[in-house]
Amino acid sequence: MTIRFTAAVAACAIASTAAAAEHQDPHQLARDLFKQLVEIKTTESGLGSTPAAEAMAQRLLDAGFPAEDVHVVGPGGRKQNLVARLKGTGRKRPVLLIGHLDVVEALREDWSVDPFVFLEKDGYFYGRGTQDMKDGDAIMMTTLLRYRAEGYKPDRDIILALTADEEGSNANGVDWLLKNRRELVDAEFVLNHDGGGVMLEDGRAVQVDLTASEKVYADFDLTVTNPGGHSSVPPRENAIYSLARALDRVSSYDFAFELNNVTRAYFEHTAKHSAAEQAAVLRGVLQTPPDPEALEQLSGDPVYNAIVRTTCVATRLSGGHANNALPQTARANVNCRILPGHSPEEVRQELVKVVADPTVKVRYYNFLTEQLDDVAPNVRGYAPPPLRPDVLKPLEKVAAKMWPGAPVVPAMAVGASDSIYTNAAGLPTYMVSGSALARDDIRAHGQDERLGVQAFYNAVDFFYDYLKAVVAYR
Ligand SMILES: [Zn+2]
């Protein structure tokens, strides 16, 4: 009796909260979630991800999600992840939505406002994570809560994973879930809200990105050591000179030109929407083999150059210990962004060849362990997954309605995200977001991070329509 009575009361509570959520203004709901997330300090030095994962789990339970579909899991302690499931008819395999809860550090004294107080000012929401990516977390949560409140039964389960340690440290939530709780997150494909997006120029949407490919990040340490000695009797051999020559060779070296299905599609789309001269260059590069003159011209643009080849650049330099002594050590950091399909070890070996001096040691710098390794990881950045029509077509349709005239452009990110884990695990991953940013207002990881108020609400509306269109696509 008692049990049945409790169950009945619980069912009532569920019905009334679900009804409340349905009648709640979706923008207000999204804003509340956004505020709540920004004000939980999910930095490494702060609280970690656990309080945010728990808070979002509570929101879902309050809205009537069954406890069996809401999990807070992880290695324990500060780095827990939320995994929630909106059950569908099971006609198709699930879709997984991912977003990271952690944010990079932000110091009050560096900002003009408190980074952990959600503030609406002059048409913007300010706070750490407003661009990267508590906006996306709040938007995906809002979408799930709305679908649940309407009693929507999708053709496939929709799984949401909000995770730890995307920005670094050693408990990456997506990696952990795939290795330890695969059954919770297994899906036919993945939508990652940590990329894509709408590009604004003079306040107008000009492009909607579909990011389906990423470069891999790697640091290499170049070190030369000499016995040293007095600088009054210098031999020819000198650590600083050797390192300078090595860096000079790196500076003039071009890694091989390469296109993949994503960057090829990117150039094809861009050519269609470019002025004649620019279009001719892009079409020249698309030829097989590429027109050498067009390629040279394209490579002169650092943004385009980074799309068609692996790049390596010196970013730090140190050496010597006294003005009147021969340097015993000289070292530099060379930062590389590696094209999909190639591994850091492959690039390290290529750097060794480019440097062409056995006295220059080329080692991999592992930023997680802060160690120098003689050999770099052999994992390859994932080959871009094919552009699925059920991801691309709905994006074209919804974007045309919301941002008329702004073409959908398949793109490659020059940074790296959690997509690397899902793709490596065989779950094709696409980065889609309706958040709009001006090209010159990218503040992720920076000071006074902010997102336009209207841009956020548009992104809320966008994702609600988009995800339904993806799930319903036939
Ligand atoms: Zn991010």
DSSP string across 387-437: --HHHHHHHHHHHHHHSTT--EEEEEESS--THHHHHHTT--EEE----EE
- For residue 135, the CA-to-ligand 1 centroid distance in Å is 10
Distance 453 CA to ligand 1 centre (A): 19
| Distance between Cα 133 and ligand 1 center (Å) | 5
Give 161 Cα–ligand 1 centroid separation in angstroms.
14
Using omega within 30 degrees of 0 as the cis cutoff, is the peptide bond preceding 289 cis?
Answer: yes
Residue 11 has what pLDDT?
A: 38
pLDDT over threshold 70, residue 362: yes
How far is the centre of ligand 1, averaged over its atoms, from the C-alpha of 364 (Å)?
A: 24
pLDDT value, residue 9: 35
Give distance in angstroms: CA of 312 to centre of ligand 1. Answer: 23
Residue 134 CA to ligand 1 center (angstroms) comes to 9
For residue 380, pLDDT beyond 80: no
* Percent of the chain at pLDDT exceeding 90: 79
pLDDT more than 70, % of the chain: 95
Ligand 1 midpoint to CA 240 (Å) = 38
The number of angstroms, rounded, from the C-alpha of 284 to the middle of its chain's C-alpha atoms is: 31
Mean of pLDDT values over 289-299: 96
Confidence tier at 429 by pLDDT (50, 70, 90):
very high
How far is Cα 452 from Cα 154, in angstroms, rounded to an integer? 31
Q: Which tokens go with 44?
A: 């490494």
Residue 158 CA to residue 142 CA, distance in Å, equals: 13
Give the pLDDT confidence score for residue 10 in this predicted structure. 37
pLDDT value for 420: 87
CA of 388 to the centre of ligand 1 (A): 23
Among 24-28, 61-65, 301-305, which is the least confidently predicted range?
301-305
In this structure, the dihedral spanned by the alpha carbons of residues 342, 344, 346 and 349, taken in order and rounded to 10 degrees, is: 160
Q: How far is the CA of 210 from the centre of ligand 1 (A)?
A: 15
| Ligand 1 geometric centre to CA of 420 (Å) | 13
Quick one: average pLDDT of 153-169? 94
User: How many A from CA of 417 to the centre of ligand 1?
Assistant: 7
* Mean confidence (pLDDT) of the chain: 92
48 CA to middle of ligand 1, Å? 15
Dist. CA 193 → ligand 1 center (Å): 8
Q: How far is Cα 224 from Cα 234, in angstroms, rounded to an integer?
A: 16
* 125-141 per-position pLDDT tens digit: 999 999 999 999 999 99
Residue 4 pLDDT > 50? no
User: What is the whole-number distance in angstroms between the Cα of residue 129 and the centre of ligand 1?
Assistant: 8
CA distances from 81 to 11, 33, 126, 172, 419 (A): 27, 17, 25, 9, 16
Strand 436-438 with 197-201, pairing: parallel
Which of 355, 448, 379, 390 minimizes the C-alpha distance to 218?
379
Average of per-residue pLDDT across 244-252: 98
CA–centroid distance, 170 to ligand 1, in Å, is: 16
Q: Is the pLDDT score of 61 beyond 50?
A: yes
- Is the per-residue pLDDT at 19 higher than 70? no
Q: What is the crossing angle of helices 134-150 and 50-62, to 10°?
A: 20
Distance 68 CA to ligand 1 centre (A): 28
As residues whose CB is below 5 A from the ion ligand 1, the structure lists 132-133, 194
Of residues 23 and 47, the one with the higher pLDDT is 47
Q: What is each CA distance from 19 to 12, 28, 86, 146, 418, in whole angstroms? A: 11, 15, 17, 10, 35
**CA 227–ligand 1 middle distance (angstroms):** 45
Give the long-range contacts of residues 248-255, CB within 8 A, separation 24 or more: 249/354, 249/355, 249/356, 250/312, 250/313, 250/314, 250/334, 250/351, 250/354, 250/355, 251/314, 253/312, 253/354, 254/299, 254/309, 255/309, 255/310, 255/311, 255/312, 255/339, 255/347, 255/350
